[in-house]
């Protein structure tokens, strides 16, 4: 039933934006059926996403924290709170903070990755690996040397680019690999970010990512409640 629900919601995304907004609103009550316990426990406006950062590029602490703050701002506007974890931090013991981890690997160069040749686009700032709905961890890569260069060439700061790229790549896990859009945070190419401009998820994307995140949390918590098999 849950899989049918998600297919139905994703189908809405292919409809025109105005029609999609209306139909997704109609689906709100239906989504609560598939993830009822999740919503009862956290509330639809309190969905939390766990992001664990592995900083292999040794980014300046102030730059990284500022980038994380911007990513938090982008997801908060979409109705989702971010819980940041570093590589040595255990998951919070709070029972309401559960779900899959979204693991961001900040690397200095693309060449250090085994998949470098497959991701050789000159303008690539980050990428996500495929992540199924029931996966306990989703993996992403952010290419910091390219972010730093792009920021210098376009008259902005690395933290602003880093924050947008992190949000964009996590967006792919929740919205799918073909989620690029003509506007907002999911644009295929990052535009110039002058004058304090911030890119956000659209209203339709926000609804879809909340539904996907709730479904992922439901899958993880269901697995945790399963009794161990006796042999």
Half-sphere exposure of 92 (CA within 13 A, CB side): 16
CA dihedral for 24, 25, 30, 32, sign (positive or negative): positive
Other C-beta atoms lying within 10 Å of the C-beta of residue 230: 4
Q: In which element (H, E) is residue 52 found?
A: strand 47-55
Query: Do residues 76 and 82 lie in contact, with contact meaning Cβ atoms separated by under 8 Å?
Result: yes
User: Which residues does residue 105 pair with via DSSP β-bridges, in sequence order?
Assistant: 54, 141
Q: At what angle do helices 17-34 and 2-12 cross, to 10 degrees?
A: 170
pLDDT, tens digit only, all 231 positions of the chain:
444 444 433 333 333 333 333 333 333 332 333 334 434 444 444 689 999 999 999 999 999 999 999 999 999 999 999 999 877 666 655 545 667 899 999 998 765 555 544 455 567 899 888 888 888 899 999 999 999 999 999 889 999 999 999 999 999 989 988 899 999 999 988 888 766 789 999 999 999 999 999 999 888 877 666 655 444
Return d(Cα 125, Cα 121) in angstroms, integer: 9
The pLDDT of residue 136 is 86
Return d(Cα 137, Cα 61) in angstroms, integer: 25
The topology under which CATH files domain 42-225 is Collagenase (Catalytic Domain) (3.40.390)
**Phi, psi (deg, nearest 5) at residue 137:** -145, 135
């Amino acid at each position: 039933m849950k899989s049918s629900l998600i297919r139905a919601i994703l189908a809405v995304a292919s409809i025109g934006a105005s029609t999609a907004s209306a139909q997704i609103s109609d689906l709100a009550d239906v989504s609560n059926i598939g993830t009822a316990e999740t919503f009862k426990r956290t509330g639809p406006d309190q969905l939390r996403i766990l992001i664990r950062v592995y900083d292999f590029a040794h980014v300046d602490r102030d730059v990284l924290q500022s980038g994380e703050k911007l990513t938090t701002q982008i997801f908060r506007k979409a109705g989702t709170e971010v819980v940041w974890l570093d590589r040595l931090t255990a998951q919070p013991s709070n029972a309401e903070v559960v779900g899959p981890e979204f693991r961001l690997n900040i690397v200095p160069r693309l060449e250090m990755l085994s998949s470098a040749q497959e991701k050789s686009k000159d303008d690539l700032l980050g990428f996500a690996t495929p992540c199924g709905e029931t996966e306990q961890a989703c993996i992403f890569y952010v290419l910091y040397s390219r972010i730093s260069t792009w920021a210098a060439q376009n008259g902005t700061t690395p933290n602003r680019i880093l924050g947008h790229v992190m949000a964009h790549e996590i967006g792919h896990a929740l919205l799918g690999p073909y989620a690029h859009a003509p506007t907002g945070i999911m644009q295929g190419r990052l535009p110039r970010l002058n004058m304090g401009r911030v890119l956000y998820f659209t209203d339709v994307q926000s609804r879809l990512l909340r539904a996907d995140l709730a479904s992922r949390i439901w899958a993880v918590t269901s697995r945790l409640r399963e009794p161990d098999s006796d042999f």
